[in-house]
């Protein structure tokens, strides 16, 4: 009867936190590879998108007006097309990256 992975993981972390050993350098020294970069970007975009959805959701619950009202307000700002395009890109890029890379993970 062995121990579970969780038990072993806990034991490892408890022992190492107690001994106050310095952490061996990792992200700061290893040469970055494409798979590494793509993987962390996938995670980063995922977290960002998730938080974005949650923020939108909370706004829907808390703000007094409805969506078309706020959209009209933004439209009334008459922002330049460059700014609007950049904003759309800022939304679309993480979404697209995460989606396409996600497909790569699934196949």
Partner 1 sequence: AAAARCAPARDSHGPPRQGHGSSKAASLHWTGERAVSVLLLGLLPAAYLCPGPAVDYSLAAALTLHGHWGLGQVITDYVHGDTAIKAANTGLYVLSALTFGGLCYFNHQDVGICKAVAMLWSL
H-helix or E-strand spanning residue 63: none
Asked whether position 97 contacts partner 1 by CB under 8 A, the answer is no
From the list 24-32, 33-41, 55-63, the region that binds partner 1 by CB under 8 A is: 55-63
- Binding residue for partner 1 (CB under 8 A) from 58, 86, 90, 93? 58
Name which position in 43, 86, 93, 104 contacts partner 1 (CB under 8 A).
Answer: 43
HEC assignment per residue over the chain: CCCCHHHHHHHHHHHHHHHCCCCCCCCCCCCCCHHHHHHHHHHHHHHHHHHHHHHHHHHHHHCCCCHHHHHHHHHHCCCCHHHHHHHHHHHHHHHHHHHHHHHHHHC
The span of 19-27, 29-37, 99-107 binding partner 1 (CB under 8 A) equals 99-107
Q: Point out which residues bind partner 1 (CB under 8 A).
A: 1-2, 4, 10, 13, 17, 43, 46-47, 49-50, 53-54, 56-61, 66-68, 71, 74-75, 84, 88, 99, 102-103, 106
């Amino acid at each position: 009867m062995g121990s579970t992975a969780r038990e072993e993981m806990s034991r490892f972390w408890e022992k190492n936190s107690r001994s106050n050993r310095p952490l061996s350098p990792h992200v700061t020294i290893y040469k970055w590879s494409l798979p590494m970069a793509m993987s962390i970007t996938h995670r980063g975009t995922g977290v960002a998108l998730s938080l974005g959805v949650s923020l939108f959701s909370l706004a829907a619950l808390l703000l007094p007006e409805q969506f078309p009202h706020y959209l009209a307000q933004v439209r009334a700002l008459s922002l330049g097309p460059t700014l609007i395009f950049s904003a759309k890109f800022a939304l679309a890029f993480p979404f697209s990256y995460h989606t396409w890379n996600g497909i790569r993970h699934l196949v």
